């Protein structure tokens, strides 16, 4: 049943509410006539009976071959020694930049209006090295690793993104007043790249001050680029400004042009299988996948339909204070297409 006019994309529905929200994306894509053929693989907390592992070789190969994919939430397998599957995917696929656009959704009121931020997070090193040990009893250490290679590529991605998306400013977020060598190297790389983009305003902001400014006045920022942990923190803070992780898309960019879009919220086991999940974050992530494929018309069309549905406010899932089911919300989006 393979149609050569179709683009093949991998989909990992994931755990918990994953399958339901993935279903929502499939329905919306097929209603919109998106020329994509999904290649579905299961990655999650259940062991693949054939390979006895959580993440099969085929799953990884599928993303490597298709170069685009969409992933739902994955719970971390319980028990010691299991690395988070999210991290394993980032590492195995060399997903070096995590991009999270965060903008106010018209009609969904929070304390903040007109938020429009892009956080770009280094996704492979820093505090996430996994290198930790006990020095003596009661004294443990973790290593934060910053490399020129990873810092340059994420800085380049950030400035390229800013330029190609009509953004004015890139802020590098750091704590180089304390970690002069690691964050200092990160900043050095950002500065080097900034010189090649004289049309983009470049600034450096200490992370604590950045958080204070974000909650006081998020419109002071535009594109933010930063090491791994700061990106983890700041992207969630930004999500909070507009209503939470249920509303914010995310896309991971890898070497060789790979893009793996993902919903970064949890798998919400408490509501799984009950048709209550909000598919917005996965839908908007799927839209960012379409933009990566330069299917911008389809992307615009679907994004508009999602935003209209939220703006109308007639169909809202429980997390947004409504009573709609996943299906009702999805149907409403389809009706707007």
What is the distance between the alpha carbons of residues 68 and 189, in angstroms, rounded to a whole number? 28
Number of amino acids touching a copy of itself (CB under 8 A) = 56
What does the radius of gyration of the chain's CA atoms come to, in whole angstroms? 20
Grouping H, G, I as helix, E, B as strand and the rest as coil, residue 102 is: strand
Q: Which of residues 78-107 bind a copy of itself (CB under 8 A)?
A: 84, 87
Which lies closer to ligand IPM via its Cβ, residue 193 or residue 283?
Answer: 283
Residue 178 interacts with ligand IPM (CB under 6 A)? yes
Residue 180 interacts with ligand IPM (CB under 6 A)? no
Question: Min. distance of Cβ 227 from a copy of itself in angstroms?
Answer: 11
Q: Which of residues 186-245 bind a copy of itself (CB under 8 A)?
A: 207-209, 211-216, 229, 232-237, 239-241, 243-245
List C-alpha distances in Å: 28 to 130, 246, 286, 301: 38, 17, 10, 11
Interface residue with a copy of itself among 30, 51, 53, 149 (CB under 8 A) is: 149
Q: Which of residues 252-311 bind a copy of itself (CB under 8 A)?
A: none
Question: Applying CB under 8 A, which part among 143-151, 267-275, 298-306, 319-327 lies near a copy of itself?
Answer: 143-151
Question: Applying CB under 6 A, which part among 42-50, 65-73, 84-92, 270-278 lies near ligand IPM?
Answer: 84-92
- Give pairs for 75-84: CB < 8 Å, separation 24+: 75/15, 75/16, 75/44, 75/45, 75/266, 75/267, 75/269, 76/45, 77/45, 78/45, 82/54, 83/130
216 binds, among a copy of itself, ligand IPM, none (CB under 5 to 8 A by kind): a copy of itself
Question: Min. distance of Cβ 152 from a copy of itself in angstroms?
Answer: 9
Torsion of CA 242, 240, 235, 10, to 10 degrees: -70
Residue 199 neighbours by CB under 8 Å, 6+ apart: 163
Smallest CA-to-CA distance from 237 within 249, 227, 245, 228 is with 245
List residues binding a copy of itself (CB under 8 A): 76, 84, 87, 110-112, 127-128, 132-135, 137-149, 175, 177-182, 184-185, 207-209, 211-216, 229, 232-237, 239-241, 243-245
Give contact residues for ligand IPM (rule: CB under 6 A).
Answer: 84, 86-87, 177-178, 208, 232, 264
């Amino acid at each position: 049943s393979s149609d050569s006019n179709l683009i093949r994309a991998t989909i990992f529905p994931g755990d918990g509410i994953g399958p339901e929200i993935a279903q929502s994306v499939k329905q919306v894509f097929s209603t919109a006539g998106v020329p994509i053929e999904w290649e579905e693989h299961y990655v999650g907390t259940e062991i693949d009976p054939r390979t006895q592992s959580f993440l099969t070789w085929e799953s990884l190969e599928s993303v490597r071959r298709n170069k685009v994919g969409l992933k739902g939430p994955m719970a971390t397998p319980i028990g010691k020694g299991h690395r988070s599957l999210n991290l394993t995917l980032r590492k195995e696929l060399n997903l070096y930049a995590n991009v999270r656009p965060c903008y106010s959704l018209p009609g969904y009121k929070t304390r903040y209006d007109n938020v429009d931020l892009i956080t770009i997070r280094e996704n492979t090193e820093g505090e996430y090295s996994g290198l930790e040990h006990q020095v003596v009893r009661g004294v443990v250490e973790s290593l934060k690793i910053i490399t020129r290679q990873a810092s340059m590529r994420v800085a380049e991605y950030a400035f390229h993104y800013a330029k190609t998306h009509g953004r004015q400013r890139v802020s590098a977020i750091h704590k180089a007043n304390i970690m002069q060598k690691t964050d200092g190297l990160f900043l050095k790389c950002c500065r080097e790249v900034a010189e090649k983009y004289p049309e983009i305003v470049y600034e450096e902001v200490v992370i604590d001050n950045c958080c204070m400014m974000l909650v006081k006045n998020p419109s002071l920022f535009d594109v933010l680029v930063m090491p791994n942990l700061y990106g983890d923190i700041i992207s969630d803070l930004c999500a909070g400004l507009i209503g939470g992780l249920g509303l914010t898309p995310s896309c991971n960019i890898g070497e060789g042009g790979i893009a793996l879009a993902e919903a970064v919220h949890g798998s919400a086991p408490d509501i799984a299988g009950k048709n209550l999940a909000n598919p917005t974050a996965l839908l908007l992530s799927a839209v960012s996948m379409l933009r990566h494929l330069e299917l911008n018309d389809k992307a615009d069309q679907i994004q508009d339909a999602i935003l209209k549905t939220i703006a109308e406010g007639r169909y809202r899932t429980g997390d947004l204070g409504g009573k709609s089911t996943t299906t009702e919300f999805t149907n409403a989006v389809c009706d707007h297409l």
